[in-house]
Structure 1
Amino acid sequence: MLNRVMSMQRESHRLQIQPHNGPADSKVDRKDSTCKQDHSSQGGETQYPGPHLPEDIWCHIYSLLPMRDAARAACVSNAFQRFWRCHPNLAFSMKALGMDKRSCGEDEIARNFTSKVDHILKNRLCMAIKTLEIVFRYYNDQVCNLDSWLQTVVTPGIEELTIQLSRKSGRYYNFPWSVLANESGSSIRYINLSCCVFSSTAGLCLKSLSRLELCDVDITGDQLGSLLHNSFALQRVRLRLCNNISCLKIPLHLRQLGCLEVFDCSLQLIEIEAQNISNFQFRGHTQVQLPLGVALQLKKLVMSFPGAVSYVCADFPSSLQYVEAPTICSSHEMIDTPVLPSKFFHLKYLSVDLSALAFSPTYDYCSLISFFDASPSLETLVVNVLQVKMLHESIVGDNTSHLREMPGHRHDSLKTVKIIGFSSAKSLVELTCHIIENTTSLKCLTLDTTRGHPWDSCSSNYTGKCLLLHGDFMVEARKGLLAIRTYVEPKVPSGVKLNVVEPCRRCHSLEPVS
């Protein structure tokens, strides 16, 4: 039925649609409807360009249309026009409003945007809104009527609120939390704000709020703490580029909180007391301290910052021993990975990302063996060592030294190993050979000498050509392939499937290394 409505609104300008007048008994007495209409201009008859359906069903179908399509469909009939003026989901963006940023300057864009939004809100028959989304890169506090729009639209019953502005405008919006006081705040379930300044949230209780996303928001740790403390139904919190928060505290009473994501914030300390977080992701430019007051049942863990591998191995809280699928990312390691004081008994999947423009040449990849030893249940290992410029000692051309052997390490559960960005770095070749020789359960070994991105391939992207690889990278890819043939392939048992991924020969030259 929704497809029929959308089809009708596309054809309405070139086809003459014969309105269908439903019988009087097909109308529904909607006492609680926010879309009651005055039918006097049509003799009390409701006209729909389609089959016999109760008005409530038509209204519901119409409410599922995106705002721009709903506005176009309003041209089909008077009934759709009334539905449009009561549409419960408002999404204001330049695309939705049909604006072209190339046609005028930024100030004029802001004025045109404001004029269109004002016109839509002024002509509404009711203000019962479920979702409001405002996405605008050219916010101008002298022109845009954001305060007025929020005061008008944020009413009891609203469930989702998104205000996405842009740092490009140079202006941060002072979000008025007072609009969510009382009944309006009690119904809100989702808040997504970017490029805003927080005012006081004291005394604000958002008892239905289940999802909070803040990006580039000027908020202090105390302000955020106050907001979290009074949002008992929170299930997911995402913070990004909120640089005025140095300490984040997640209180114990947030029992429904299952996902916490903190990206690129200037945090130094995260205190988690909520017990049911199963998904924790942190990405930053510096190391974060993670003292835990409870034993979290983490299933998914992502930690990304310089020195993350060493931190996880040496200082990671023992209360996280139940983690099953961690992803550890580090662009720089000052020291080799130390031996873990305790083991991750439940860890089954491990992803270690050491990709960088040029990783420290002093880092010994074999130090990762201690990580594997601490994970006796590990079944799948993915290591990304992609470097644009490989600075490690190469095993190619080195006829004087032998591969190191590290006896006493057995890995009896490991089945699948994938190394992305495989190079001729001597310690990486040694690590690979160690895995082959000391893993009785190994079934599949994949050594990828490319960037590891499927969309870089001519067989998968729309251009029909591979993404051209840098000259130094191609030289190292050839060396990596030679190292595989010389040192790795002879050690691979017959029961292990070896997959070697090399640059496309159609798009790249793979001349042998001299």
Structure 2
Amino acid sequence: MEATNIKRLKISKKKKAKKLEEKHDYLTELPEPLLNHILSYLTMKDVIRTSVLAKRWRYIWLYVPCIKFPPMKVSRQIEVAFINRTLLLHKGPNIQKLNITFKYNNDGACQVDSWMHFALTRNVNELYLDFLVKGARDPSRHCYRLPHFILSCRSLTVLALKRCAIKFPINFKLSSLKKLSLDLVDISSQAVNDLISSSPILEYLSLTDCQKDDSLNLSIMNVGMKTLKINGSSYYSSSYLEVYAPHTVSLELVRSLYRKNLVINRMQSLESASFYCDRVPCVRYDKVKGYSTHKILEAVHHVKDLRLCSCYAEALSTSENQSVDFLSFDVTCLGIKTELTKWELPGIAYIIRHSPNIETLIISIDKIRDKGLSNDLEVGEYWKLQEPNFIDQLWNLKTVKVCYFMENLNQLQESFESTAKELLELLQNCMDFLKFLLKNSKVLERMIITNYKKTKFGKWDGLKLRLMSRLTQELLAFPRASRDAQIYLQDCLRSPPGIP
């Protein structure tokens, strides 16, 4: 009897211990730096809500170093009051990150200035500001003018501004700034250069539609400069862009086809370069612009990683037709965003043939044409005619990646009821190119064909399975120059690595 009671007592103690363990709040016992790191992923509204979780959480929001205010679905007055109250009550001595996205009106300048004073007095490290101004494509109208004192904040390491204005001349010194991003910011070309020269350890610079009316002459002498990104999709044709950056390692340029001139000078430190256009390929507008594009590629022929869109392939096609055969590339990784139309094929063949060190080739299918444009006998026969020119080429090509392979077929199938055979015909241009690569790449190890995985189900999924089966059979039947070449067909939820 006594043994039974002892056994029951032990069981009871175990149950109590288990209940206590279940009630134990391990999250609350985390060290404060780790808690702050977790809270940095939340908006300030959600951070404040954690004050009801436990006694320790009651005042922790007053000291969080990362403050984030996204747009709120409330009236503007309530939104301003919430930001004012939060910053007024905050007691942390230093702010690591302040992120404000705010619906700005002309009468709100004083309020925003007070937030900038808060950032300055708390030695902010990272400042992100986005002012949702009406008519945001013209930042010079009704936009917030950044106060001069914020550009003297020596603690700033990251500054990202969107839809505001910076007026000069002013005196400033951003001695700690490493990353600068300006998007739809009203700022002059000279002011941009002044900002760069006053940021001696700047490593990253991104400019998006900042000089809509003016030309931009960039001179970047910062030794530590690593990345330069310029997106100028809305420039006028009379403007020009000139870049002088001898120490920059990575360049990404999205330029309007209407920009009159683009000059790249002394970028001998470049290791990777990306060039894209957001309109119809330039050689369809003007052959002179095609020649200009060719000169751009000549300036970056030494890079190891090169990414291009279809208009550059067309520009090289124009050069090919004119028998310009002096440009060669040192790339080991080449990415081309293309539709594989007859206008682009000569340029694609040109750059591959003139890249003897290429090891990785990435083809991103921009769009699949309808039957009237995709089934062109000239396109189908082109790669067969190119084989004699590639007898002593492609000796280093080991990896081929084809991205968005069937991405647009879903829309075509919804518009026109199609069979697997008919859809396969739409992919014939790409299949001819893959057949050419398999037949002429002597050391090819892998060909990876990726496609976005669709989340919806229905008739398309069954058709897609039949199409994949047909594609697999046809690809496996292609002759291969390399015995080690393997073919992989993949669906993916995320963008494959290295997509242009």
In structure 1, the residue matched to 2:270 is 298
For residues 162-189 of structure 1, give each alpha carbon's deviation from its aligned partner in whole angstroms, at most 9, with x where no partner exists. 111224576753233323254xx21111
Matched, 1:88 2:65: yes
For 1:349-388, list aligned pairs within 5 A.
349-355=333-339, 362-363=342-343, 365-388=345-368
Q: Contact 1:187–1:208 (CA<8 Å) still a contact in 2? A: yes
Q: 1:247 aligns with which of 194, 215, 229?
A: 215
Q: May I ask how many residue pairs the two structures share in their alignment?
A: 420
Label 1:480 to 1:249 Cα distance change in 2 as closer, same or farther (>3 A).
farther
Q: Sort the Cα spacing of 1:323 and 1:467 in 2 relative to 1 into closer, same or farther, 3 A.
A: farther
Tell me the distance in 1 between the aligned counterparts of 2:367 and 2:185: 34
| Offset from partner CA, 1:333-355 (integer Å, 9 cap, x none) | 3654635523223x111111114
Q: Indicate the residue corresponding to 2:14 in structure 1.
A: none
3-state SS, counterpart of residue 404 of structure 1: helix
Q: TM-score scaled to structure 2, two decimals?
A: 0.69
Query: Closer, same or farther in 2 for the Cα pair 1:233/1:296, shift >3 Å?
Result: same
In 2, the alpha carbon distance for the partners of 1:454 and 1:489 equals: 25
Shift of 1:131: 2.4
Q: Deviations over 1:409-448 (max 9, x none)?
A: 22211122344548668876664454344332233345x5
1:175 and 2:145 matched: yes
Corresponding letter in the other structure for 2:326:
P
Residue 441 of structure 1 is matched in structure 2 by 443
Aligned counterpart for 1:394 among listed residues 375, 378, 387: 375
Query: What are the Cα deviations for residues 72-107 of structure 1, in whole angstroms up to 9, with x where unaligned?
Result: 34446777555533443322224xxxx5x2xxxxxx
Q: 1:322 aligns with which of 298, 302, 307?
A: 302
Corresponding residue for residue 131 of structure 1: 97
Q: 1:468 to 1:434 in 2, by over 3 A?
A: closer
Q: What is residue 453 of structure 1 aligned with on the other side?
A: 451
For the residue of structure 2 that corresponds to 1:282, the secondary structure is strand
Kept in 2: contact 1:300–1:324 (CA 8 A): yes
Cα RMSD between the aligned structures?
4.4
CA 1:16–1:286: 2 relative to 1, 3 Å: same
Displacement of 1:371 in angstroms is 0.9
Equivalent-residue separation in structure 2 for 1:250 and 1:426 (angstroms)? 44
Identity of aligned residues (%): 17
Q: Contact 1:173–1:196 (CA<8 Å) still a contact in 2?
A: yes
Match for residue 412 of structure 2? none
Identify the residue that residue 154 of structure 1 maps to in structure 2.
Answer: 120
Structure 1: which 5+ residue stretches go unaligned? Answer: 1-14, 18-48, 102-107, 505-514
| Structure with greater helix share of residues | 2
Unaligned runs of 5+ in 2: 1-22, 284-289, 407-424, 493-500
**1:253-307 CA distances to partner (integer Å, 9 max, x unpaired)?**
3111100111244455443333221111112332765534324222221100154
In the aligned structure 1, how far is the partner of 2:308 from the partner of 2:240? Answer: 18
- Tell me how far apart the structure 2 counterparts of residues 228 and 189 of structure 1 sit (CA, whole Å): 13
What SS class does the counterpart of residue 121 from structure 2 fall into?
A: coil
Give the deviation of 1:387 after TM superposition: 2.7
The letter for the 1-side match of 2:247 is: N
Structure 2 residue aligned with 1:417: 400
Question: Which range is displaced more, 282-291 or 293-302?
Answer: 282-291
Q: Structure 1 CA distance, aligned partners of 2:64 and 2:490? A: 54
TM-score relative to the length of structure 1: 0.67
SS of 1:387's equivalent in the other structure is: coil
2:327 matched residue in structure 1: 342
Pick closer, same or farther for the CA change 1:169–1:124 going to 2, 3 Å. farther
SS of structure 2 residue aligned to 1:316:
helix
1:40-89 Cα deviation digits (max 9, x unpaired): xxxxxxxxx977x9xxx74x455433344542344467775555334433
CA distance in 1, matches of 2:156, 2:282: 37
SS in 1 for 2:388: coil
Q: State the SS of the aligned residue for 1:134.
A: strand
